[in-house]
């Protein structure tokens, strides 16, 4: 029997007690680090509006100038692109090679459990003419860490996030590559810390923005050995700075539009959408397809913040004018919080927990200021309208 205390979500994530929804899109103020202006509009919507005033030809000139400083003439790799084979990173890597004459090395931190479509898209990336290194951690440790992250942090994805951040830097150091090109800046595109740089990512910011203030080394104090955790740890900041590793966001230089990325990657890297027609918990068919436990990352996000996968997808589709707000509200009410049943038995087996323990963990992380229980069923106290 698992034993743990219920978490105070408001304190853990510094959330407002009163729920408000953006008047432009449908995101709520429960998204960590997001802010709303006096008109009740989230900073992601403000940022997207400002993007439409940017001179993108000028930004492309900046990109070309940046790449010219790092382009190598000796045939060696000159830029790292973190990529799973998904539509967004596929666009970044493919354009860097075929449009901007760079020699990218794509690096992939392996999913917990590859889906069939995820593996096919990963292979499509490679066979479109892009080199790749796949990093796969110790399976026994990874499973244990996933289970403990689910209990301790309320997110089974935490071990993946550690590697997603640290592995590209380690490969950059190993291959003497000074430029890393990430995809979008989540703090800017989806709402987050206003002080975060739109253009580049500092290693000093990773704990706050990417690790939810639970960095990998904390697990050493919870019984994991240094050997077990070494693969998850980022290189020392001093080493990154001394080697002048420059980690940039593609979304600063090119207008970030996931729907357009889907069309581009379908044409150029053989990307395929979800064969089921849509992903559980949302209406979209082309995002976060490679890992069988993706759905549980989004499900626990729903429990903690009242924001599910459909809310996340609809919010940026509204900002990009692909949906109206009214359409987004209807989609959220139809799909948000849908239980990810397709891989549920695999997830329980992977984490070595049973159904009863899973729901214990759910109740531990269900935010009390967001949820109420009526007639044995949980319901959000306030929903978007």
Which conformational region is residue 204 in: left (phi greater than 0), alpha (psi within -120 to 50 degrees), or beta?
alpha
pLDDT, residue 208, reads 66
Is residue 114 located within the same domain as residue 209? yes
Provide the token pair at 253.
């230089």
| Count of structural domains, the chain | 2
- CA 201, CA 205: separation in Å to the nearest integer? 7
| The pLDDT value given to residue 322 | 94
Is residue 84 included in any domain, yes or no?
yes
332 and 221 inside one domain: no
Pick the closest to residue 318 from 12, 105, 18, 41 (CA basis).
41
Half-sphere exposure at residue 298, Cβ-oriented, CA atoms within 13 angstroms: 25
- Which phi and psi angles does 356 have, rounded to 5°? -65, -45
Residue 272 contacts residue 117 (beta carbons within 8 Å): yes
254: nearest Cα among 33, 27, 61:
61
Question: In this structure, is residue 186 part of a structural domain?
Answer: yes
Q: 160 with 307, same domain?
A: no
Model pLDDT, residue 197: 73
200 and 166 in one domain?
Answer: yes
Residue 292: inside a domain, yes or no? no
Map residue 81 onto helix, strand or coil: strand
Final residue of a domain: which of 253, 288, 321?
A: 253
Cβ(283)–Cβ(331) below 8 Å: yes
For the chain, the helix, strand and coil percentages under 3-state DSSP, each to the nearest 5:
50, 10, 45
Do 358 and 230 belong together in one domain? Answer: no
152 inside domain: yes
Q: Please indicate, yes or no, whether residues 230 and 104 belong to a single structural domain of this protein.
A: yes
DSSP-based three-state secondary structure for 17: coil
Is residue 264 in some structural domain?
no
CA–CA dist 350, 138 (Å, integer): 14
Show pLDDT as tens, one digit a residue, over the chain (385 residues): 566 677 789 988 999 999 999 999 999 999 999 999 999 999 999 999 988 899 999 999 999 999 999 999 999 999 999 999 999 999 999 999 999 999 999 999 999 999 999 999 999 999 999 999 999 999 999 999 999 999 999 999 999 999 999 999 999 999 999 999 999 988 888 888 776 778 887 777 766 667 777 889 999 999 999 999 999 999 998 999 899 999 999 999 999 999 999 999 999 999 999 999 999 999 999 989 999 999 999 999 999 999 999 999 999 999 999 999 999 999 999 999 999 999 999 999 999 999 999 999 999 999 999 999 989 899 999 999 9
Maximal CA-CA distance, the chain: 69
Q: Are residues 41 and 129 in the same domain?
A: no
Rg from Cα positions in the chain = 20
pLDDT in the model for residue 3: 65
What was the pLDDT predicted at 348? 98
In a domain? residue 241: yes
226 and 313 housed in the same domain: no
CA distances from 290 to 83, 114, 305 (A): 11, 6, 24
43, 137: one domain? no
Last residue of a domain, one of 253, 288, 316: 253
Q: 233, 253, 273: which is the final residue of a domain?
A: 253
| Per-residue confidence (pLDDT) for residue 185, from 0 to 100 | 87
Q: Is residue 71 domain-resident? A: yes
Domain residues for 331?
9-52+301-380
CA distance 204 to 211: 12
d(CA 188, CA 167): 23
Residue with tokens 């966001």: 249
Residue 125 lies in a domain: yes
- Distance separating alpha carbons of residues 207 and 211, to the nearest angstrom: 5
């Amino acid at each position: 029997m698992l034993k743990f205390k219920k978490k105070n979500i408001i304190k853990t994530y510094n959330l407002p007690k009163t729920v408000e929804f953006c008047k432009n899109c449908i995101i709520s103020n429960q998204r960590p680090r997001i802010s709303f202006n006096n008109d009740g509009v989230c900073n992601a919507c403000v940022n997207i509006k400002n993007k439409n005033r940017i001179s993108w030809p000028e930004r492309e000139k900046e990109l070309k100038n940046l790449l010219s400083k790092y382009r190598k003439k000796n045939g060696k790799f000159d830029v790292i692109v973190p990529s799973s084979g998904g539509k967004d990173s596929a666009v970044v890597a493919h354009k860097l090679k075929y449009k901007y004459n760079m020699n990218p090395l794509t690096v992939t931190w392996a999913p917990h459990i590859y889906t069939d479509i995820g593996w096919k898209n990963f292979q499509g990336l490679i066979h479109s003419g892009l080199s790749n290194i796949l990093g796969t951690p110790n399976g026994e440790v990874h499973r244990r860490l996933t289970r403990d992250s689910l209990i301790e942090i309320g997110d089974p994805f935490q071990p993946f996030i550690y590697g997603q951040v640290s592995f590209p830097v380690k490969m950059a150091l190993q291959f003497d590559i000074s430029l890393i090109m990430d995809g979008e800046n989540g703090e800017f595109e989806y709402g987050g810390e206003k002080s975060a740089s739109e253009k580049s990512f500092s290693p000093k910011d990773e704990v706050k923005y990417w690790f939810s203030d639970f960095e990998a080394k904390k697990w050493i104090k919870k019984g994991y050995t240094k050997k077990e955790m070494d693969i998850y740890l980022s290189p020392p900041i001093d080493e990154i700075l001394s080697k002048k590793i420059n980690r940039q966001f593609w979304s600063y230089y090119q207008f970030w539009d996931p729907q357009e990325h889907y069309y581009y990657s379908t044409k150029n890297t053989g990307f395929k959408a979800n064969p089921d027609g849509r992903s559980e918990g949302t209406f979209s068919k082309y995002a976060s397809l490679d890992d069988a436990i993706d759905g549980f990352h989004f499900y626990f996000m729903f429990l903690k913040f009242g924001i599910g996968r459909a809310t996340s997808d609809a919010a940026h589709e509204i900002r990009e004018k692909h949906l109206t707000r009214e359409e987004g509200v209807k989609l959220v009410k139809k799909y948000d919080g849908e239980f990810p049943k397709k891989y549920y038995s695999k997830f329980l087996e992977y984490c070595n927990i049973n159904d009863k323990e899973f729901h214990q963990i759910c109740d531990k992380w269900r935010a009390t200021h967001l949820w109420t229980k009526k007639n044995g069923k949980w319901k959000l106290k306030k929903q978007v309208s």
